């Protein structure tokens, strides 16, 4: 059993001064928790500050132009989460009269809000004892309890959540949730945890049994799929030719026309067969972008459109390019 008062006391003394902690308004807690998913705190801070200024409340988010929202969050990755946030904001306006839902059951109904985010909002914003179990928390609890099970397996993660839920019932929900997350971020880090500074070291089985580095155990991830693309920075006088993605990955983002292919020869031939003639004007350096489950290897070319147009393409004035939300994978391509 851990000493919860000690954990909470440690947090009050050592917590970082983060903009998300200025205000525990449920809307802002939600925004910060969504941004922090899969993204480092330092990366999130400027995005959060800008977001809070542009969309200070649910209503403003619900009325947002999807492209402005995408532009504002460009660079954070996992864009779908913001599309779902906007859908959730619309639902809050429609079904809850614009008042942020106050119960776990209502929160979990909203698009993009899962057990973790609902638990974080309930505990941090509303001071209610609902567990929020993310990767940091899984690491801390599995180490403290000396649980060596594979945390890639959902049932094992669920057991950690059960322990977290039991502990929060005896705690100050907001302090406890933030303390456990902060401990995982600052002290009980994945590599070289600072056990000597840890308020939980007396109770920690992994520390006592010197197995800190091997807990939590995570089995090997399936390897990433590598996809090779020919990517065309396609110009038509003072316009670029682009496409807006409809695929789930990066949905709604603008991208250069690209084709799964090893070289440009077959791409040009198949475009020509569809009545689209282009001329390659420059070969650009290769660019690689790594996603969670896949890797894009892109061979980019500058090219000029001579005739024809694919129905998925659109003309974007060159001077407007900077205002268009673009996937990092494609904004990494040096187009000059
Ligand atoms: S004692 Fe070490 S391993 Fe255990 S919770 Fe603290 S930092 Fe993590």
**Boundary (domain end) residue, out of 153, 183, 214:** 214
Show the domain range for 154: 4-214
Query: Which of ligand 1's atoms lies nearest the C-alpha of 183?
Result: 7
> How much is the mean pLDDT over the chain?
93
The pLDDT tens digits for 199-239 are 999 999 999 999 999 999 999 887 889 999 999 999 999 99
CA distance readout (Å), 22 to 43, 52, 82: 18, 12, 22
- Let me know if residue 320 belongs to a domain: yes
H or E element, residue 80: helix 80-95
The pLDDT tens digits for 76-128 are 888 889 999 999 999 999 999 999 999 999 999 999 999 999 999 999 999 99
CATH number at residue 127: 1.10.340.30
Question: 165 CA to middle of ligand 1, Å?
Answer: 19
**Boundary (domain end) residue, out of 180, 214, 248:** 214
- Let me know if residue 336 belongs to a domain: no
Q: Residues 12, 15, 17, 18: is their CA dihedral positive or negative?
A: negative
Same domain for 229 and 193, yes or no, is no
CA 204 to chain centre: 31
Same domain for 61 and 170, yes or no, is yes
Q: What are phi and psi of 296, to 5 degrees?
A: -100, 125
Q: Among 1, 140, 205, 213, which is best to mutate for testing ligand 1, by the most ligand atoms less than 8 A from CB?
A: 140
The pLDDT tens digits for 67-85 are 999 999 988 888 889 999 9
Q: Among 200, 213, 215, which is best to mutate for testing ligand 1, by the most ligand atoms less than 8 A from CB?
A: 200
Same domain for 258 and 199, yes or no, is no
Query: Which of ligand 1's atoms lies nearest the C-alpha of 200?
Result: 6
Residue 273 scores a pLDDT above 80: no
Question: 42 CA to middle of ligand 1, Å?
Answer: 23
Same domain for 186 and 293, yes or no, is no
Contact 129, 173 (CB under 8 A): yes
Same domain for 245 and 187, yes or no, is no
What are the tokens at 335? 């187009």
Residue partners of 283: CB distance under 8 A and separation at least 6: 299, 301
Q: How many domains does the chain have?
A: 2
Whole-angstrom distance, CA of residue 318 vs CA of residue 299: 22
Give pTM, 2 decimals. Answer: 0.79
Query: Which of ligand 1's atoms lies nearest the C-alpha of 215?
Result: 3
Same domain for 229 and 205, yes or no, is no
Cis peptide bond N-terminal to 216, omega within 30: yes
Catalytic residues: 33
The whole-number average pLDDT for the span 14-38 is 93
- Let me know if residue 295 belongs to a domain: yes
Query: Which of ligand 1's atoms lies nearest the C-alpha of 198?
Result: 6
CATH number at residue 261: 3.90.79.10
Same domain for 134 and 207, yes or no, is yes
Question: 199 CA to middle of ligand 1, Å?
Answer: 8
Q: Whose CA is nearest to atom 4 of ligand 1?
A: 204
Contact 303, 278 (CB under 8 A): yes
Question: 104 CA to middle of ligand 1, Å?
Answer: 30
Cβ–ligand 1 distance for 207 under 6 Å, the answer yes
Same domain for 203 and 237, yes or no, is no
- Let me know if residue 166 belongs to a domain: yes
> Three-state DSSP class for 335?
coil
């Amino acid at each position: 059993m851990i000493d919860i008062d000690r954990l909470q006391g440690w947090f009050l003394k050592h917590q970082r001064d983060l903009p998300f902690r200025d205000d525990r308004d449920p809307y802002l807690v939600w925004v910060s928790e969504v941004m922090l998913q899969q993204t480092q705190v330092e990366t999130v801070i400027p995005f959060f500050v800008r977001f809070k200024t542009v969309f200070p409340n649910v209503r403003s988010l619900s009325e947002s132009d999807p492209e402005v929202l995408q532009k504002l969050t460009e660079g954070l990755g996992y864009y779908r989460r913001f599309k779902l946030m906007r859908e959730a904001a619309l639902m809050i306006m429609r079904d809850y009269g614009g008042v942020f839902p106050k119960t776990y059951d209502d929160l979990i109904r909203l698009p993009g809000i899962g057990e973790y985010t609902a638990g974080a909002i309930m505990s941090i914003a509303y001071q209610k004892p609902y567990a929020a179990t993310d990767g940091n928390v899984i690491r801390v609890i599995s180490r403290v309890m000396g649980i060596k099970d594979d945390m890639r397996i959902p049932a094992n993660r669920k057991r950690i959540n059960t322990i977290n839920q039991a502990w929060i019932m005896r705690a100050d929900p907001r302090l406890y949730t933030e303390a456990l997350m902060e401990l995982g971020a600052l002290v009980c880090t994945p590599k070289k945890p600072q056990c000597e500074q840890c308020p939980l070291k007396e109770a920690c089985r992994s520390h006592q049994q010197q197995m800190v580095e091997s807990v939590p155990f995570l089995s090997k991830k399936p390897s990433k799929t590598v996809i090779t693309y020919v990517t065309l920075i396609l110009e038509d006088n003072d316009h670029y030719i682009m496409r807006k993605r409809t695929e789930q990955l990066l949905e709604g983002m603008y991208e250069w026309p690209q084709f799964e292919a090893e070289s440009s020869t077959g791409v040009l031939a198949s475009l020509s067969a569809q009545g689209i003639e282009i001329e390659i004007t420059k070969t650009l350096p290769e660019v690689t972008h790594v996603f969670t489950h896949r890797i894009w290897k892109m061979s980019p070319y500058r090219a000029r459109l001579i005739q024809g147009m694919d129905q998925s393409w659109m003309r974007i004035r060159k001077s407007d390019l900077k205002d268009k939300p673009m996937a990092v994978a494609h904004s990494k391509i040096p187009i000059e």
